[in-house]
């Protein structure tokens, strides 16, 4: 991955950036359509391309359920399955730990989901999540592997610290899998900063993830937009 800041606003700190990935260039900020199950509802991949879209999001948790690994493998990966030759961002599905919490059990090993479709159990661990994403052949992988334990942004107390610290431990496991995969030149692993609405926990998480900078391509802010007030969102 190549990343370059093109321009900065001296007043707001906003910036325009250029990110070059294996499947082309994406200018940032960008509008990224969501193809949760490797399909944009109502529009074809050709129409997305004609609109100038250069980056589409898939969700690893949902892809694992539908269409599933066997279908994607038979198609030749997520790019071929959805007829898309530009960049893909594969989110690990951390939001589902919150939205599907009644179907989920969290342990140090990973997350055990009961499928909302048929009740079948699905275990996702940092290593398993990374394997799934490599299987999908995504070139830009945001949070490759379930290295983050996400809790609601409205959660307070010791549970937030516990989830933040576990996210760092899961990141270590995901980095190890990424380095052993031989795909570091074609897939990019991003670390997701957690810590709820507590600035101190956010700083600790960020410091821990920066200490692992050799194992990741970049960083993102996670665990927000979960119901908190907008002024709190912007403060964090």
pLDDT, tens digit, 9 for 90 and up, residues 159-176:
889 989 988 998 898 888
Whether residue 185 has pLDDT greater than 70: yes
Give 141: exposed, middle or buried? Use CB within 10 Å, 0-12, 13-18, 19+. Answer: buried
Bridge partners (DSSP) of residue 184 are none
Instruction: For residues 138 and 35, give the distance between their C-alpha atoms in angstroms, rounded to a whole number.
Output: 13
120-138: string of b/e by CB count within 10 Å (b at 16+)? eeeebbbbbbbbbbbbbbb
* CATH top-level class of 33-235: alpha beta
Whether residue 59 has pLDDT greater than 70: yes
- The stretch 52-80 carries a mean pLDDT of 86
What is the residue whose two structure tokens read 């994406």? 26
Contact 111, 132 (CB under 8 A): no
pTM: 0.78
- The stretch 128-139 carries a mean pLDDT of 48
Instruction: Report DSSP state, residue 213.
Output: G
Q: pLDDT tier at 142 (50, 70, 90 boundaries)?
A: very low
Domain map (residue ranges) of the chain: 33-235
């Amino acid at each position: 991955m190549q990343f370059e800041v093109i321009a900065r606003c001296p007043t707001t700190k906003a910036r325009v950036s250029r990110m070059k990935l294996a499947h082309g260039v994406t200018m940032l900020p960008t509008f990224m359509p969501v193809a949760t199950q490797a399909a944009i509802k109502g529009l074809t991949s050709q129409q997305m391309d004609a609109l100038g879209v250069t980056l589409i999001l898939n969700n690893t948790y949902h892809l694992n359920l539908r269409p599933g690994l066997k279908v994607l493998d038979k198609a030749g990966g997520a790019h071929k399955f959805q007829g898309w030759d530009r960049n893909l961002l594969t989110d690990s599905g951390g939001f589902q730990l919150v939205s599907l919490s009644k179907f989920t059990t969290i342990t140090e090993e990973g997350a055990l989901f009961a499928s909302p479709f048929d009740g079948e159990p699905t275990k996702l661990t940092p290593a398993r999540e990374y394997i799934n994403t490599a299987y999908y052949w995504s070139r830009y992988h945001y949070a490759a592997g379930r290295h983050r334990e996400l809790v609601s942004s409205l959660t307070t107390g010791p549970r937030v610290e516990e989830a933040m610290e576990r996210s760092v431990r899961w990141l270590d496991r995901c980095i190890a899998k990424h380095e052993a995969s031989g795909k570091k030149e074609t897939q990019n692993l991003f670390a997701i900063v957690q810590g709820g609405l507590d600035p101190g926990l956010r700083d600790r998480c960020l410091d821990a993830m920066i200490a692992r900078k050799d194992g990741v391509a970049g960083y993102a802010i996670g665990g927000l937009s979960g119901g908190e007030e907008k002024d709190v969102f912007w403060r964090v």
